[in-house]
Amino acid sequence: MKKIILFILSFLFAFVSIAQVINKGEKLFGGSFSFSVFEINSNGPGYNSGGNAGIFPSFAWVIRNDVALGIRGAINYGYTGIKPTSTDKTENNTFGLGVGVFVRKYKLLKNRFGLYFNNEASANYGVDKRRQTGGGISTSSSSHSWGGMYSFQPGVFYKFSEYFFGEGSIGGLFAYYYGDGVTKNFGLGASFLQYFNLGINYRIERKSRNRKS
């Protein structure tokens, strides 16, 4: 009976080890690319269109099995175009920099495929350039903005090998604060199937494990 119990415990331990994606003490180095595109037609002649793109390098420490705590940089570009009439138009081009802290939980589902859940708090700084055209007159202006954001983003991952795995998300929930020296805004939002984020991570093993090998 004792041998059977030991065999069952050994089997369960081996299963848990195989099911783990990352192990405590390891590190993750990688990054991601995001983009979103939207176009909203109004009832009149106007429209609202735009898009965003960003690059996000990251580095994380695995604080528990399948749980990573990390920092992430951000380089963003955004565009919006508003055309209320056939002759009037407003265009905004935004360039931004930011830094964030995240906690990410991985869950392996089957073979090399699984889910992750990302919580992140970030601070951002941006420069906005606006151009307005109407009545044969064109004007331009620029402003600076800053703010913070919290986001919850679920996603999927796939292990290409023991060291590389790709990640992807299609949206999430957001809470943000924004100010430009004149106005201040706070809001909540959700975006699914509009905001896409694709990335890859490299798993760096613990030093002790490297010595044993």
Q: 51 exposed, middle or buried (CB, 10 Å; 0-12, 13-18, 19+)?
A: middle
Q: What is the pLDDT of residues 34-49, one digit of tens each?
A: 887 665 554 445 556 6
pTM of the model: 0.76
Q: 118 exposed, middle or buried (CB, 10 Å; 0-12, 13-18, 19+)?
A: buried
d(CA 14, CA 197): 33
Residue 106: CB partners within 8 Å, gap ≥ 6? 21, 22, 66, 67, 68, 114, 115, 116, 157
d(CA 207, CA 166): 24
Q: What is the pLDDT of residues 162-198, one digit of tens each?
A: 899 999 998 889 999 988 878 888 999 887 776 788 9
Count of other CB atoms within 10 angstroms of residue 203: 20
pLDDT of 13 strictly over 70: no
DSSP structure class, residue 182: S
pLDDT of 2 strictly over 70: no
Across 1-15, 111-125, 132-146, 169-183, least confident range = 1-15
d(CA 121, CA 22): 22
Residue 37: CB partners within 8 Å, gap ≥ 6? 50, 51, 194
The mean pLDDT of the chain is: 83
Task: Output the six-digit token pair for 177.
Answer: 């604060």
Domain 2-212: CATH class, spelled out: mainly beta
Greater model confidence, 148 or 212: 148
Domain spans of the chain, in order of start? 2-212
Q: In the chain, pLDDT over 90 holds for what percent of residues?
A: 49
